[in-house]
Amino acid sequence: MRTIIKRYFKSISQLFIFLSLFLILPSAFASQDEMLRFIETKQKELREKEAALKTEEERLNIIKKEVEEKIATYKKLLDQIEEALKKVDQINDEKLNKVIKTYESMSPEDAAARLSMLDEKMVVGILVKMKDKKAAAIIAMMDPKKAASITEKM
């Protein structure tokens, strides 16, 4: 948009320069008729450039509107995706909490035996959310190497 305005003002300033030259150098033209034709030609060129700039500005405004509409659509989609992800996270948290309660209700020996079979990342996630005393009792019942590895990751 600024480029269009700059070009417009450049065209206007060029016209003023030509007009100034006519006043300073009237001998450059054979007659007043030639000078008038030259001025009319320049005015016509200026009107054509102005019309072209107006058309370009309208085209850019249409493009701007389309881009703004697409941005609004994408923002709406992003909001929907974020909302869906929140629901998925909430469901996963609920499932994990149920698993945690299940392991907390087991004896430390049984919980340690079963947790030892799971992926360490999952075990860490479960133990971190357990009550401290229950998690400590379960870790105490695990193989020392497995307990050490899990403790490091906690």
pLDDT tens by residue, 48-104? 999 999 999 999 999 999 999 999 999 999 999 999 999 999 999 999 999 999 999
Predicted confidence band of residue 29 (pLDDT cuts 50, 70, 90): low
Alpha-carbon distance 54 to 60, whole Å?
Answer: 10
Predicted confidence band of residue 18 (pLDDT cuts 50, 70, 90): low
Alpha-carbon distance 7 to 75, whole Å?
Answer: 35
The answer to pTM > 0.75 is no
| Token digits of residue 84 | 């869906």
